[in-house]
Amino acid sequence: MATKVKESAAVATASSKNGGSLISDDKLKQLYATMLKCRLLEEKALGLKKMARFKGNYYAAVGQEAAVVGAAIDLRPEDAVAPSHRDFITNFIKGVPLDAMFSQLYGRVTSPDKGRCAPAHCGYAPLNIITPSSTIAAQLNIGTGIALANKMLKNDNIVVAFSGDGSTSLGFWHEALNFSGVHDLPIVFVCQNNLWAESVPLRLQTKVEDISLKAQAYGFPGITVDGNDVVAMYRVAHEAIQRARNGGGPTLIEAKTYRWYGHSSIDPAKYRAPEEVEEWKAKDPIAAMERYLTQRNLFTPAWKQQMNESFGKELDEAVDFAEKSPQVEPIECLDHVYSFDIRGRELDRKTRTPKYQK
């Protein structure tokens, strides 16, 4: 099996520029708009976090929007997403209502998980987004099982499974890719290589420079993409998704990108050189797309302004909704453990009714 490594993003973008574009103008604009909204959404979340409006920690993907949007924008509701800790925005891209997402941050009764998971760990059953655990890479294996079921059920739904560079060191990561390869499963692995796993740089994570190489060991294509080029990401993901849908098996897409901020909202990220951060900020995927759309006469500042305003309003409304939503009842702690209720079991224990006197 031929394994493509490193299709240059510039080529992907250039070829779409040269007349016969595979990507419609509307799609290009949608890619931009979605990235912009993801950015606004996460900046909003971080702002709320700074003001301590919700508890817990937030893991922002700011700077990585192209990788996530390009991979997830065309998914159908039936397609599954296996998100990692930094993929809160996959929910938005897939169409989860903002009210539900902000309720998740606030852990309110209106959140999809009714206040159980950490703020950024959002799943959504109606759109087949796995509610993530925090175990790095675990979502890949569950996603693999969903892909196995899709194959057994003979439907053409696929799975997009996200992971980071750090996750590739775990056994789980390799078990998932290996199994998916053996069974030609309809799954696309998107590894966002942002060069850091918390404070650990890529060179301490793996000896190879391109993570996409690892796909060779599992017998399916691996491709490295400029993860800050949303058009390149979209083209590559589109092809991988088609392949998966048509029974062609898995693909590993390595998106080289960078997180602008700390690992989480409490991490000042002192371990990175400021120059490195600045260098990557200059490669802002949203600004790059703005330039590209401008070249193609598809962008006006007024359009952006209008989106900033209208989406800003939507965000404010969602925040308001979340803040006004009720807290969960304490006793709900006992719910959803099994398919049957255990409230009675625990409560009897509490009152210790003297049922068994001699």
Asked if 222 is part of the footprint of Mg ion (rule: CB under 5 A), the reply reads no
Choosing among another protein, ligand TPP, Mg ion, none, which partner's interface includes residue 198 (Cβ < 5 to 8 Å by kind)? ligand TPP
- The region, left, alpha or beta by phi > 0 then psi within -120 to 50, assigned to residue 352 is left
Total site size for another protein, rule CB under 8 A: 44
b/e code 146-161 from CB counts within 10 Å (16+ = b): bbbebbeeeeebbbbb
Q: Do the Cβ atoms of 101 and 318 come closer than 8 Å?
A: yes
Please report how close the Cβ of residue 342 comes to another protein at its closest, in angstroms. 7
Residues 309-348 that bind another protein (CB under 8 A): 335-339, 342, 345
Kindly tell me which of 185 and 211 has the beta carbon lying closer to ligand TPP. 211
Output the smallest distance, CB 143 to ligand TPP, in A.
15
Binder to ligand TPP among 44, 263, 311, 321 (CB under 6 A)? 263
* Integer Cα distance of 34 and 69 in angstroms: 7
- What Rg do the C-alpha atoms of the chain give, in angstroms? 22
Gap between the Cα atoms of 323 and 54, Å rounded = 9
Query: What's the length of the chain?
Result: 358
Considering the rule CB under 6 A, would residue 135 count as an interface residue with ligand TPP?
yes
Dihedral of the alpha carbons of 214, 219, 224, 225, in degrees to the nearest 10: -140
Identify the three-state secondary structure at position 63. Answer: coil
Which residue from 148, 141, 205 is spatially nearest to 173, judged by alpha carbons? 141
Rounded Cα–Cα distance for residues 310 and 331 (Å): 39
336 binds, among Mg ion, ligand TPP, another protein, none (CB under 5 to 8 A by kind): another protein
Q: Does 350 bind another protein (CB under 8 A)?
A: no
150: partner contacted, choices Mg ion, another protein, ligand TPP, none (Cβ within 5-8 A by kind): another protein
At position 344, the amino acid (one-letter code) is G
From the number of C-beta atoms within 10 Å of its C-beta (0-12, 13-18, 19+), residue 338 rates as exposed
Q: Where are the alpha helices (DSSP H) in 95-137?
A: 98-106
* Partner from ligand TPP, another protein, Mg ion, none contacting 85, C-beta within 5 to 8 A by type: ligand TPP
Residue 268 interface partner, choices another protein, ligand TPP, Mg ion, none, CB cut-off 5-8 Å depending on type:
none
User: Which of 13, 34, 91, 167 touches ligand TPP (CB under 6 A)?
Assistant: 167
Give the one residue of 54, 58, 196, 218 binding ligand TPP; rule: CB under 6 A. Answer: 196
> Would you say 215 or 225 has its CB closer to another protein?
215
Burial of 351 (0-12, 13-18, 19+ CB in 10 A): exposed
Residues 104-143 binding another protein (CB under 8 A) are 112-114, 116-117, 121, 123, 125, 130-131, 133, 135, 138, 141-143
Interface with another protein (CB under 8 A): 112-114, 116-117, 121, 123, 125, 130-131, 133, 135, 138, 141-150, 152-153, 171-172, 175-176, 178-179, 182, 335-339, 342, 345, 352, 355-358
Residues that bind Mg ion (CB under 5 A): 164-165, 194, 197
Site for ligand TPP, rule CB under 6 A: 85-86, 134-136, 164-167, 194, 196-198, 263
